[in-house]
Amino acid sequence: MKFIIQRDKLVQSVQDVLKAVSSRTTIPILTGIKIVATEEGVTLTGSDSDISIESFIPCEEDGSENVEVKTAGSVVLQARFFSEIIKKLPMDTVEIEVQNQYVTTIRSGKSEFNLNGQDAAEYPHLPQVEEQNVFRVPTDLLKNIIRQTVFAVSTSETRPILTGVNWKLENHELICIATDSHRLALRKAKVEAENNITCNVVIPGKSLNELNKILDDTNELLDIVVTENQVLFKAKNILFFSRLLDGNYPDTSRLIPAESKTDITVTTKEFLQAIDRASLLAREGRNNVVKLATLESDTLEVSSNSPEVGKVVEQIQSNSIDGEELKISFSAKYMMDALKALEGNEILINFTGAMRPFVIKTLHDDSMLQLILPVRTY
Amino acid sequence: MKFIIQRDKLVQSVQDVLKAVSSRTTIPILTGIKIVATEEGVTLTGSDSDISIESFIPCEEDGSENVEVKTAGSVVLQARFFSEIIKKLPMDTVEIEVQNQYVTTIRSGKSEFNLNGQDAAEYPHLPQVEEQNVFRVPTDLLKNIIRQTVFAVSTSETRPILTGVNWKLENHELICIATDSHRLALRKAKVEAENNITCNVVIPGKSLNELNKILDDTNELLDIVVTENQVLFKAKNILFFSRLLDGNYPDTSRLIPAESKTDITVTTKEFLQAIDRASLLAREGRNNVVKLATLESDTLEVSSNSPEVGKVVEQIQSNSIDGEELKISFSAKYMMDALKALEGNEILINFTGAMRPFVIKTLHDDSMLQLILPVRTY
């Protein structure tokens, strides 16, 4: 194998596949990056068995030359060293050449590295994904869907299925739900699906977080392929494979209240900042709880009390309060997470009493919903 | 105590004195910030017994009003909560008022905090510093002096005196020396000293690092007062006290070779980048050692070999090589630290053989010197 490559393209691709490489792995060769050079270009692969990422650098792209392949071939190089070396090389191009015994020469200007490599034939094969169930989403919409749900997955392994996000596709509508059983995030989106396919899978939160990091914020369509135990995201020059979580996702539809007793509309930013301030003292107690009460004249009061440190109280002018008076306590962190995930300047909160879950939405937008279980303190 | 203060001025002052506040302290009141309001303005104090920082916010400055003091007085507030609260308050001004039992109300807009405070009379007194030995340095020069020496102090407590920087003042010349016994940094500077005073003290490296963080990069003169066991830096509106280290600093003058056998001049940046690349593989071994050899035609070769990972070799065109041929090994980290501390585009390295300490200087500048002990490998 021998090729000359534009260094910035190589650095970007290595950064992408590196997201799948873990230093803690039981399969030693997975601490490496597989490099394959063919007539078409150079393909890099990183994997930790759960997530696999493949990045392709075509020889030519948009009329400019990225790679000149002298001899086709392949090798596996230590991911950490390879990525640090190419970042610090002195010139804009890099020559990579496999010598005897997989020792690989990396040349740039007067700098020459010889890295011990491994046989690419020993690198595990990527999952085989049959492209039967394919649907399409614009990349920027996918990034939003991930951002607005994945934060709500459980971080505890007591119910492993809750560490993933439930993706259900039916009638060209994708519904994504994440919950840690204290709060829930739901996002719906219309997607392009062939043959009106359906699916109901659970994607690990960690996979979605890594996927989000490597996707560009473009409106290009991205193909999503779902099989029984794998999902594949196909972006331009990037394939992202993730294993799916085993088991049935709980039915969350009954959790979401159909009616409400107190409805509040308030400016998102103002409300978020008041909760943030109140949480400064709440953080001292482990539960991070703030209180919300309705007052006269559409006024809200956010407060928190930490006997050892002090107390905080703040009034906010809401845009409207309809229905019953309310005093309720909840986690400031969950509320801030929910408010940051929602879009729009104004939010609507539907309460069904101080002991029932409540729902937060962007005003006049039903595609997103955040639900929080209150804490008993009043 | 009651005053109304510009929030940005308060935030800046709190950030400054916070540098001296440690959450791990045996004196509980030192986790707080002392606030004193007088007719002249507001003074904040933070301390961990070793370092004490006092920041003064005058009522008026440059024609604009910073503080309006309604009632003089004082209180001590928890540093961590107080600093987070004022950063997140909604308005540009803050009202601070001590109520009963040192409970302190912090008001801004519709947000109101009540923080439990403590009696300022219980806060330890700052060291009394008699202003007999005073000298003056421009602030930006002081920042450079610190930056160019403090990195070389020892981080190990086996010889506590080496965790500080030795400051010697004689004949209006300040000489600052730091060494961890593997390398040494020396910086000289002319200073304004009254009555041709002399001093010879050791200032903790930690103190100098914190001082450097709070000083602005101006050319305003800064007063430095030295006593038997304290040093006081007096910048505009800031007093920075540090305890001095006990004990005698070793005589390092014999360490610095007076003659040399091989002299090399090379472009700083090019040499630094080559060492940086060679160190990528050297990092694997705990000693982080790279090799340097002189070749024909004023060429230098930087190399490193880590049998498990691979090897790297790079040639650099030096500007001149005079004297004996040389092969030498040294710590890449020490070399990079030294090169980053030096100023100027071109450096001069004086070697006295592969086993002797060598000296790095900026070409045509004797005010700074970096010395490194080689490692035996050739």
Interface test mutation site (partner B, options A103, A302, A314, max chain B beta carbons within 10 A): A314
User: To which CATH superfamily is domain B136-230+242-252 assigned?
Assistant: DNA Polymerase III, subunit A, domain 2 (3.10.150.10)
According to the model, what pLDDT value does residue A129 have?
85
H-helix or E-strand spanning residue A312: strand A310-317
Residues from chain B contacting residue A103 (CB–CB below 8 Å): 310
pLDDT band with cut points at 50, 70 and 90 for residue A281: confident
In tens, the pLDDT along A232-264 reads: 999 989 999 999 999 999 999 888 998 999 999
Strand partners, B33: B77
Do the beta carbons of residue A13 and residue A87 sit within 8 Å?
no
- Closest by CA position to B83, among listed A280, A354, A329: A280
- CB spacing of B114 vs A312 below 8 angstroms: yes
Amino acid (1-letter code) at residue A201 = V
What is the identity of the amino acid at B366? D
> What local confidence, expressed as pLDDT, does residue B38 receive?
97
pLDDT of residue A195: 82
Query: Vertex B222, ends B218 and B225: CA angle to 5°?
Result: 160
Chain B nearest-CA distance from A309, in A, is: 6
Q: Contacts of residue B81 in chain A, CB cutoff 8 Å?
A: 280-281, 309-310
Q: Taking CA atoms, what residue in A is nearest to B102?
A: A310
Rounded to the nearest angstrom, the minimum Cα separation between B271 and chain A is: 12
What does the pLDDT read at residue B59?
96
Condensed to tens digits (0 to 9), the pLDDT of residues A160-189 reads 999 999 999 999 999 999 999 999 999 999
Helix (H, G, I), strand (E, B) or coil at B100: helix
Q: For chain A, what is the radius of gyration of the CA atoms?
A: 25
Three-class SS state of B356: coil
Which member of B84, B114, B314 has the closest CB to residue A112?
A: B314
Percent of chain A with pLDDT strictly greater than 90? 86
- Mean pLDDT over A148-158 rounds to 95
Residue-level pLDDT at B285: 57
Closest Cα in chain A to B317: A110
pLDDT digits (tens, 9 = 90+) for B256-273: 998 999 999 999 999 999
Report residue B23's pLDDT band, with 50, 70 and 90 as the boundaries. Answer: confident
- Considering only CB atoms, A280 lies closest to which of B84, B280, B316, namely B84
Using the beta-carbon criterion (under 8 Å), do A274 and B111 form an inter-chain contact? Answer: yes
In this prediction, residue B284 has a pLDDT band, given cuts at 50, 70 and 90, of low
Residue A227 distance to chain B (closest CA, Å): 39
Question: What's the pLDDT at B328?
Answer: 96
Which residue of chain B is at minimal alpha-carbon distance from A32? B309
Residue B286, pLDDT > 70, answer no
Q: How confident is the model at residue A336 (pLDDT cuts 50, 70, 90)?
A: very high
Determine the average pLDDT of the residues in B358-366: 93
Contact (CB<8Å) A310/B111 = no
Task: Indicate whether B140 pLDDT > 70.
Answer: yes
DSSP-assigned letter for residue B147? H
Q: Which amino acid is at A75?
A: V
Chain B: closest CA distance from residue A113 (Å) = 4
CA distances from A320 to A139, A262, B127 (A): 36, 10, 57
Statement: residue A378 has pLDDT above 60: no
Question: C-alpha angle A282/A287/A290, rounded to 5°?
Answer: 45
Query: Where are the domains positioned within chain B?
Result: 2-122, 136-230+242-252, 256-372
Does residue B130 have a pLDDT over 60?
yes
A88 and B313: CB-CB below 8 Å? Answer: no
For B338, the enclosing helix (H) or strand (E) is: helix B332-341
Inter-chain CB proximity A312 and B112 less than 8 Å: yes
Which of B116, B309, B311 has its CB closest to that of A78? B309
- The pLDDT value recorded for residue A127 is 84
In the block, tokens 């939160």 appear at A205
User: Where does residue B309 fall: left (phi above 0), alpha (psi -120 to 50 degrees), or beta otherwise?
Assistant: alpha
A–B: how many Cβ contacts below 8 A?
Answer: 79
Minimum-distance CB partner of A277 among B111, B277, B308: B111
Per CB-CB distance under 8 Å, the chain B contacts of A308 are 116
For B32, nearest residue in chain A (alpha carbons): A309
* Strand pairing category for B134-138 and B221-226: antiparallel
> Residues 6 or more apart from A161 whose CB is under 8 A from it?
A202, A245, A246, A247, A248, A249, A250
The alpha carbon of residue A43 is apart from the nearest alpha carbon of chain B, in Å, by 23
User: What angle in degrees, to the nearest 10, is found between the helix axes of B332-341 and B268-282?
Assistant: 150
**Minimal C-alpha gap between B84 and chain A (Å):** 7
Q: Closest chain A residue to B80 measured between Cα atoms?
A: A280
Indicate the residue type of B241. Answer: F
The listed CATH number (1.10.3720.10, 3.70.10.10, 3.40.80.10, 3.40.50.1970) that belongs to domain B256-372 = 3.70.10.10
Average pLDDT, chain A: 94
* Contact of A295 with A305, CB cutoff 8 Å: no
Determine contact, residues B1/B75, Cβ cutoff 8 Å: yes
Q: Which residues on A lie below 8 Å from B112 (Cβ)?
A: 312-314
CB B304 within 8 A of CB B291: yes
Would the CATH topology of A2-122 be identical to that of A256-372?
A: no
Name every residue in A having a CB less than 8 A away from some CB of B.
78, 81, 84-85, 88-90, 103, 110-116, 273-274, 276-277, 280-281, 308-316
What length is written for chain A? 378
φ and ψ at residue A219, rounded to 5 degrees: -100, 15
Give the model confidence (pLDDT) of A6-54 as tens digits: 999 999 999 999 999 988 888 999 999 999 999 999 999 999 999 999 9
Chain B nearest C-alpha distance from A303 (Å) = 9
Largest CA distance in chain A: 82
Distance from CA of A158 to the nearest CA of B (A): 34
β partners of residue B315: B301
SS3 A276: helix
Confidence band of A3 (pLDDT split at 50, 70, 90): very high
Cα gap A162→B98, rounded to integer Å: 48
8 Å CB contact between A144 and A174 = no
What pLDDT sits at residue A203?
Answer: 98
pLDDT (0 to 100) of residue A159: 93
Tokens 């104004």 found at: A346
Residue A308 CB neighbours (<10 A)? 9
% residues pLDDT > 70 (chain B): 98
Question: Between chains, do B276 and A309 touch, taking CB under 8 Å as contact?
Answer: no
Please give the pLDDT value at position A184.
97
Looking at the domain covering B2-122, what would its CATH class be?
alpha beta
Interface test with B, best of A309, A318, A336 (most B CBs within 10 A): A309
At B208-262, the pLDDT tens digits run: 999 999 999 999 999 999 998 999 999 989 999 999 999 999 999 888 998 999 9
Q: A134-253 is classed in which CATH architecture?
A: Roll (3.10)
Average pLDDT, chain B: 94
Q: Region B155-176: what's the mean pLDDT?
A: 95
**Closest residue to B112, CB basis, from A115, A309, A313:** A313
Q: What is the pLDDT of residue A286?
A: 59
Which of B112, B311, B312 lies closest to A314 in CB terms?
B112
Question: What strands lie across the sheet with B327-331, from one edge to the other?
Answer: A67-71, A2-6, A93-98, A104-108, A111-115, B310-317, B299-306, B289-294, B327-331
For residue B178, give the nearest of B50, B334, B292, B48 by alpha carbon: B334
Are the beta carbons of B184 and B252 closer than 8 angstroms? yes
Please provide the distance, in angstroms rounded to a whole number, between the alpha carbons at the two ends of chain A: 70
Candidates B81, B90, B314; nearest CB to A273: B90
Contact yes or no for B89 and A277 at CB 8 A = yes
Q: What is the mean pLDDT of residues A308-315?
A: 93
Question: ipTM of the assembly?
Answer: 0.86
Model confidence at B79: pLDDT above 70: yes
The pair of structure tokens assigned to A352 is: 């069904």
- Smallest CA–CA distance from B109 into chain A, residue: A314
Where residue B342 falls among pLDDT bands split at 50, 70, 90? very high
- Residue contact B310–A116, C-beta within 8 A: yes
Q: Over pLDDT 90: what percentage of chain B? A: 86
Distance from CA of B141 to the nearest CA of A (A): 32
- Once rounded to an integer, what is the mean pLDDT over residues A99-120? 96
Q: Is pLDDT above 80 for A282?
A: no
Q: In terms of CA atoms, which chain A residue is nearest residue B118?
A: A309
- What stretch of H or E contains B341? helix B332-341
Instruction: Using alpha carbons, select from A37, A28, A45 the residue that is nearest to residue A118.
Output: A28
CA distance B272 to chain A (A): 12
Inter-chain residue contact B276 with A313, CB threshold 8 Å: no
Q: Are the Cβ atoms of B273 and A90 closer than 8 angstroms?
A: yes
| DSSP category for residue B91 | S
Mean pLDDT of A81-103: 96
- CB–CB contact B280 A110 (8 Å): no
